[in-house]
């Protein structure tokens, strides 16, 4: 019989951990969704609800199908994949993609652990409990650390914010699909499966 473990901290309590401490905590708690800010603050994300998980599965399935047809371009990751960003933060986007040359430049050890890079493409799918302002900060952090395209998908408000380096955030109310543009050529995310 498995018991459910959780870490509960009062809102005023911040835990700061080194990279090595974070890696040890993550290894000892594989069922927890953990992240680390650039300043070393430990973030414990609760599991998503079933509906949010289903929406994320639909998103990663569409991305995965495109990647299978375009394997030479890069590799994709689901929400359990962590990345050490150049600023020292460890983040786990809901879905992400890294170009093949950048992925292959990593050593096998780098690939086994938290990859030391920011994905080229990131998606954050807002769940009902997610703070929109914190997700926007996270999207900005991805751009500052090298992401070339980011989508913040907000099912509650049926809108998408598109993040690109050096450009204003593009807000799309109730789009039916999103294009990967020159970052993910030919990829189109159909949102009817996400909104539904």
- pLDDT band at residue 2 under the 50/70/90 scheme: very low
- pLDDT band at residue 170 under the 50/70/90 scheme: very high
DSSP letters, 112-158, are HSSBSS--SEEEEE--TTS-HHHHHHHHHHHHHTT-SEEEEEETTTT
CA–CA dist 51, 41 (Å, integer): 29
Which residues are paired to 99 by β-bridges?
Answer: 74
Going by C-alpha positions, the residue among 181, 127, 129 that lies closest to residue 154 is: 127
| Strand order from edge to edge, sheet including 95-99 | 74-77, 95-99, 121-125, 149-154, 159-163, 170-173
Give residue 137's pLDDT.
95
Asked if 68 and 99 count as a contact pair (C-beta separation under 8 A), the reply is: no
Would you give the DSSP letter of residue 13? -
The number of C-alpha atoms within 13 Å of 8 and in the hemisphere containing its C-beta is 3
Task: Report the mean per-residue pLDDT for the chain.
Answer: 88
pTM over 0.75: yes
- Write out pLDDT tens, residues 171-193: 999 999 999 999 999 999 999 98
Which residues are paired to 160 by β-bridges?
Answer: 153, 172
Give residue 9's pLDDT.
55
First vs last C-alpha separation in the chain: 35
| Strand order from edge to edge, sheet including 83-84 | 42-45, 33-36, 90-91, 83-84
- Write out pLDDT tens, residues 21-39: 777 777 787 767 777 778 8
- pLDDT value at 13 more than 90: no
- Write out pLDDT tens, residues 118-140: 999 999 999 888 899 999 999 99
Instruction: Tell me how far CA of residue 94 lies from CA of 27, 152, 153, in angstroms.
Output: 20, 10, 10
- pLDDT value at 6 more than 90: no
């Amino acid at each position: 019989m498995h018991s459910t473990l959780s870490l509960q901290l009062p809102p005023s309590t911040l835990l700061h951990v080194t990279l090595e401490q974070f890696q040890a905590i993550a290894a000892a708690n594989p069922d927890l969704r953990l992240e680390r800010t650039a300043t070393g603050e430990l973030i414990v994300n609760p599991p998503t609800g079933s509906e949010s998980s289903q929406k994320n599965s639909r998103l990663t399935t569409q991305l995965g199908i495109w990647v299978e047809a375009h394997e030479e371009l890069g590799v994709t990751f689901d929400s359990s994949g962590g990345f050490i960003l150049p600023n020292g933060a460890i983040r786990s986007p809901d879905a992400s993609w890294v170009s093949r040359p950048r992925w292959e430049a990593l050593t096998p050890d780098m690939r086994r652990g938290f990859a030391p890079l920011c994905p080229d493409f990131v998606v954050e799918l807002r769940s009902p409990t997610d703070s929109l302002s914190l997700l926007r900060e996270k999207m900005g952090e991805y751009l500052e650390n090298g992401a070339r395209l980011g989508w913040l998908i907000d099912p509650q408000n049926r809108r998408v914010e598109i993040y690109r380096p050096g450009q204003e955030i593009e807000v799309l109310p109730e789009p039916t699909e999103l294009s990967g543009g020159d970052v993910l050529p030919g990829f189109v995310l159909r949102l009817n499966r996400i909104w539904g």
